Homo-oligomer: A and B are copies of this chain.
Amino acid sequence: MGIDRTKLRWNGWGWAARKDDISERAEVWSWLAGELGMPALLATPGRPLEDLKLSDSRLSVQDRVELSAIVGANQVRDNLSERVFHALGRGYADLLRLRAGDLSDAPDAVVYPRSTEEVLAVLAYASRKRIAVIPFGGGTSVVGGANAERGPFGMVIAIDLSDMDRVVDVDPLSATATVEAGIYGPALEKALQAKGFTLGHTPTSFEFSTVGGWIAHRGAGQGASRYGRADDWLVSAKLATPRGLLTSGDFPATSAGPRLNDLVAGSEGAFGIITEATLHIRPLPEVVDYRGYLLRDFAGGIAAIRAAMQDGCGCAMLRLSDGEETRFEHAYARLDKARGPLLHLVERYRKLRGFGDRPCLLIAGYEGDKQTTALARQRFGEIVGRFGVAAVGRSVGEKWRRNRFQAPYLRDPMLDRGVGVDTIETAASWSKLDAVYGAARTALENAMREAVPREDAHGLVLCHVSHAYPTGAGLTFTIIFPRRLDGDLEQWRKIKTAAVEAILGSGGTLSHHYGIGTANAAWMRREKGPLGLDLLRAIKAAVDPEGILNPGKLVP
């Protein structure tokens, strides 16, 4: 049921055979050059696989024998393609390194266990031999969560869960499913939907990420307002650690002290390897209805979402682009003549009296039975009506939904033309959201201006409210900028640092749904406070006394 990884791009996103939508279209590149203040965008291809130089695997004969005795000889692999696939995740910095042929972080071997017992045995061996261990699900982390950094250890192995992808049990009475953690999103949904259920967890990485990864980084799907975050839908888990198995009870709620689930969600492979989990599933929705609304301005859109979440209006998703994101996506869409009719609609509404230059597109998702979704649609319509709105219809919403997993495919062709793209996300209380938005936007604009390759060039900052709650919301910033080919990793680090400092300084969290990994680990002391970090370190030491699990990540 897994996916055929030989068909994935080794240095980019997704299926190798999938043609992207932009690389062949000259009008896109001339328009984008103009957007970035660049005279032109030249080809900047990555290195071919043949050019890679990989250091030799440090897997010794003895280690191979011992690991093979646990999982079987075929389940310990150190050939080139395995080591390359497990070297880095899919963050912007990872793509830069892959394209540059830098695979210094490749693991010495990849181990494929087929049971919790095998994972426990491998961890016990690795702990005894002081071998670093990288838990590996789909490998799509954008914060370095899957990178095979060895830390202070001589050898590093990846433990790949993809052979542990069974649906163990579906319990319709309790509305739960128990699955092995290596199962990918599409396989999980196929199995659940065959029985009339869904987990409904749809992060952008859905097609290429696994249940274990979703829980480990405490992720949130696009429809989290209905289906919940990983920390919401996680009912119980098995966490294999170097000190043995941690299990959490499948209780609907408990007051028997802190709940162990809450330490599993967000453990990022630093406390153990999630091998199995029980998840709260729901009946397949009778209605799935996504619609577009054009708001007069960003502040009004935010106020509408806040009112809706505090009203308990029952939307599955409320996603609001700011004026710049709306403008940019609209301008991009205009390049495509075939999309004319839809655009005309948007155009017409933009020209309505009072809508000015910076309208904001909001996509609302309604999922559930007919009665509930009809009521949610009616109530949200009433709320949004107070803030200056034009409903732009279901086609806009359905188009968004159709393309909801496609955005990452645009990164590779842009990198091929000297354009960097990254996303940075946070969440804050409603009271602080304006301040976080303003501070992050300004910091990103300034940092990009300082770090671009030409004086007149600049980056773009697009932002949307990606997730909403009664007490606050998540913001996702997309940045697009001309790469400095003489130092693109350094350029990215400066931009990233400026953004995180601005976010933390104005009251946002270090991450709302990406996790910490290596990219955010340096700020964990600031996020949790010195005592909070000590506490997380104490937890790690209790289950991983040698510190072999994901060294340097989460709790540096």
Interface residues of A (CB under 8 A from B): 171, 173-176, 217-220, 229, 231, 235, 241, 243-260, 262-263, 265-268, 280, 282-283, 306, 310-312, 368-369, 371-372, 375, 379, 427-431, 467, 469-474, 507-516, 520, 524, 527-532, 534-539, 541-543, 554-555
Contacts and interface: CB of A to CB of B under 8 A. Distances in A.
20 contacts: A176-B471, A218-B254, A218-B258, A243-B531, A251-B508, A251-B509, A251-B512, A252-B469, A253-B427, A253-B509, A253-B513, A254-B509, A254-B512, A255-B511, A256-B515, A256-B516, A258-B265, A263-B535, A535-B539, A535-B542
Contacts of A173: 306, 430-431
A247 B235 CA distance: 26
Ranked 6 nearest A-B pairs via Cβ: A252-B472, A262-B262, A538-B542, A252-B469, A218-B255, A251-B509
Given A174-B471, A262-B262, A256 B509 contact: yes
A231 B510 CA distance: 21
Contacts of A469: 252-253
A257 B262 contact: no
A545 to B, nearest CB: 10
Contacts of A260: 528, 532, 535
Contact of A531 (B241, B251, B527): B241
A256 B535 contact: no
Contacts of A245: 529, 531
A121 to B, nearest CB: 16
Nearest to A520: B256
Given A220-B255, A231-B259, A538-B542, A368 B312 contact: yes
B471 A235 contact: yes
Contacts of A247: 529, 532
A252 B245 CA distance: 31
Contact of A259 (B235, B262, B268): B262
B257 A528 contact: yes
A51 to B, nearest CB: 36
Contacts of A311: 369
A244 to B, nearest CB: 5
Contacts of A282: 310, 470
Point out which of A310, A429, A509 has the most chain B C-beta atoms below 10 A from its C-beta.
Answer: A429
B528 A255 contact: no
Given A173-B306, A258-B536, A249 B509 contact: yes
A541 B543 contact: no
Contacts of A257: 218, 266-268, 515-516, 524, 527-528, 536, 554-555
Contacts of A220: 253, 255
A255 B515 contact: yes
A467 B283 CA distance: 22
B265 A531 contact: no
B429 A171 contact: yes
Given A249-B509, A256-B524, 17 more contacts: A174-B430, A175-B470, A218-B255, A229-B255, A247-B532, A251-B427, A251-B508, A251-B509, A252-B427, A252-B429, A252-B473, A253-B472, A257-B536, A258-B262, A258-B266, A262-B262, A282-B310
A354 B511 CA distance: 57
A473 B472 CA distance: 29
Nearest to A530: B244
Contacts of A244: 530-531
A107 B176 CA distance: 47
A539 B431 CA distance: 32
A430 to B, nearest CB: 4
Given A260-B528, A520-B256, A431 B171 contact: yes
Nearest to A474: B253
Given A256-B516, A257-B536, A531-B246, A280 B470 contact: yes
Contacts of A246: 529, 531-532, 535
A231 B534 CA distance: 22
Contacts of A249: 509, 527
Contacts of A536: 257-258
Contact of A258 (B174, B248, B263, B372): B263
Contact of A511 (B175, B254, B265, B554): B254
B532 A248 contact: yes
Contacts of A229: 253, 255
A266 B258 CA distance: 5
A429 B247 CA distance: 16
A386 to B, nearest CB: 16
A169 B473 CA distance: 20
A311 B472 CA distance: 26
Nearest to A243: B531
Nearest to A265: B258
